Structure 1
Amino acid sequence: MTFQGTNPPAGRLRVFGGQVAAQALVAAGRTVDPSRTVHSLHGYFVRAGEESEPITYRVENIRDGRSFSVRRSVAEQQGRTIFFMSASFHRAEKGLDHAEEMPADLPRPDEVPTMEERLQPFPDLLAEWNRMPRAIDVRYLTGAGFAWPGERPMEENQRAWLRVDGTLPDDPLVHACALAFCSDLTLLDAVLSRHGKVWGKGGFIGASLDHALWFHRPFRADEWFLYDCTSPSASGARGLARGRMFTEDGRLIATAVQEGLLRRVGG
């Protein structure tokens, strides 16, 4: 089956990778029995997408078994593949249950400054931040991965509270796609955080190379979740990052892993 996605006017030269992954997932999910929910996706970013062009998503039915459905979703612009993904969907079953615990003694979302509050002392950065609408409320517990006055500290973790800024319908696929979008927002920041570096002027440029996401438990993307990200390795201009997502009451709902290309600006 074929679907077409549009790009919101974000003012970027290229389409945000999380958007492409989310749209590829919703296209795949619309071809699956709604009683089966996505439990994992694995994708590769092949080319940068152009914001001015719509994206075509072609979905291939790989298999519908008794318990699992597998789909391959390919994103294309002007006849060229920019992203492809495999996603697996599983009917609800009972089984063993355990999970890692959420980091303790962290500020709650309402105790963390909004980005607008953080940027009040820097009018130019605040104006740039407010230049376009943002669908996701992001509240950093650690240093942000973009250039602003002052040095960024070296930190083992990149942590932020996130939620969709609004109320979503009850469709679990919509929430999974929103979480897929969010999973690309701060993940590679963890690589820079280990070195006290930032994106942009005086720092690095980067691009997502691949992305994997596992969904563990039911959730709502319009409710707060903690995105706890770390980077186990960086070498050869590539960095690996992994992130865990916890609901505000401490349930582990998803895990993401991504490798990205990171090059020094002007290097």
Structure 2
Amino acid sequence: MTEPVEQLLAVLDLEKLEEDLFRGTSPDVGWQRVFGGQVIAQALSAAIRTVPQERTCHSLHSYFLRPGDPKVPIVYTVDRIRDGGSFTTRRVVAMQHGEAIFSLSASFQRYEEGFEHQITMPDIPKPDELPHGEALEEILKNAPSAVQRYWKRPRAIEFRPVVLDHYISGRKLDPYQHVWVRCRGEIGDDPVTNTVVLAYLSDMTLLDTALFAHGLSVFDERVQAASLDHAMWFHRPARVCDWMLYTQDSPSSSGGRGLTRGSLYGLDGTLIASVAQEGLIRPRRQE
């Protein structure tokens, strides 16, 4: 297992302080605020620890309330809303400096047989057919320095976008994106670990898709961007060390906000999860 993956799993392994009370920390990567996917995954991890093992998360809905401070721990309080015959509901609030920075509601269900269907995965190039490593660096050599630093930074999650135009062209593009994504190291088949890491990576690349239509990216200094809310539905078990296609579209931006929808497919075409997120995207105010 590579070091970034070990670090990620350590970050997602919360410390239990008391019944229904947990504490998480953030990695020291030089960011001014906590990555949203980390808070989603930590809050989900806290909720899972209060639910019977035979019940798995089928959906979560969350709001980012304040920027997280990466220098201090985050305390997660779990409220046991309901334990029903088929479903269990939990609410989690993340606290820092005496204030709520994030809230999450998650629903869990015992396994049931039932109707089953799914939409078809788009037919696009497979990850091995896309540029990576030195070939990717060559394509991005004229990209803004912030983009190059981001792609060179060691990380637990590997991406291979089908199209890289939004990083290097400045052209207005159709608001659609396809990104292959996976965990860089082997983490095994434990369903809880795979679910939590899937929640973590689901927050990646979404806001960029909402900026395609405007010829911008989240790395552009002219843009103020931040996640506002995040919803996710878990359809089938995931194995995040295998390649997954994250296909995204942004149906609308207005009022300083952009909406993006995503679908995560396994390499075999199985629909694993669906995602929706609204983010703040507005021109940065001049000082």
Please report the TM-score for the alignment, with normalisation by the length of structure 1. Answer: 0.92
Q: CA deviation at 1:233?
A: 0.9
Report if the CA contact (8 A) 1:143-1:152 is conserved.
no
Change (3 A) 1:66 1:243: same
Q: Which residue of 2 aligns with 1:110?
A: 128
- The residue number in structure 2 matching 1:173 is 192
Q: Which amino acid aligns with 2:213?
A: R
Contact 1:41–1:213 (Cα < 8 Å) also in 2: yes
| Uncovered stretches (5+) of structure 2, i.e. residues with no partner | 1-19
Deviations 1:143-177 (A, max 9, x none): 366xx443345023111000011111322121111
Other structure's SS at 1:122 match: helix
Give secondary structure in 2 for the equivalent of 1:52: coil
1:100 counterpart residue number: 119
Report the CA distance between 1:131 and its aligned residue: 6.2
Does the CA-based 8 Å contact 2:24-2:74 persist in structure 1?
yes
Counterparts of 1:141-156 in structure 2 under 5 Å? 141-143=162-164, 148-156=167-175
Please show how residues 233-248 of structure 1 align to structure 2 within 5 Å: 233-248=252-267
**RMSD over aligned Cα atoms:** 1.9
The answer on whether the counterparts of 1:200 and 1:265 sit within 8 Å (CA) in structure 2 is no
Give 1:219 shift.
Answer: 1.5
Counterpart check, 1:2 vs 2:21: yes
Corresponding residue of 2:137: 119
**C-alpha deviation, 1:136, in angstroms:** 0.2
Aligned pair partner of 1:133 in 154, 158, 166: 154
Is the CA contact 1:155–1:195 (under 8 Å) kept in the aligned structure 2?
Answer: no
Q: Which runs of 5 or more structure 1 residues have no equivalent in the other structure?
A: none
| 1:33 and 2:52 matched | yes
CA contact (8 A) 1:119 1:125 kept: no
Q: Alpha-carbon deviation of 1:115?
A: 6.2
Q: Secondary structure at the match of 2:269?
A: coil
Deviation at 1:265, TM superposition (A): 3.1
Matched, 1:191 2:210: yes
Residue identity over aligned pairs, in percent, reads: 47
Whether the aligned pair in 2 keeps the contact of 1:160 and 1:226 (CA below 8 Å) is yes
Equivalence for 2:182: 163
Deviations 1:176-196 (A, max 9, x none): 111111111011211111232
| Contact 1:119 1:126 survives alignment (8 Å) | no
1:210 aligned to 2:229? yes
| Number of equivalenced pairs | 264
Deviation larger for 122-131 or 43-52: 122-131
TM-score (norm 2): 0.86
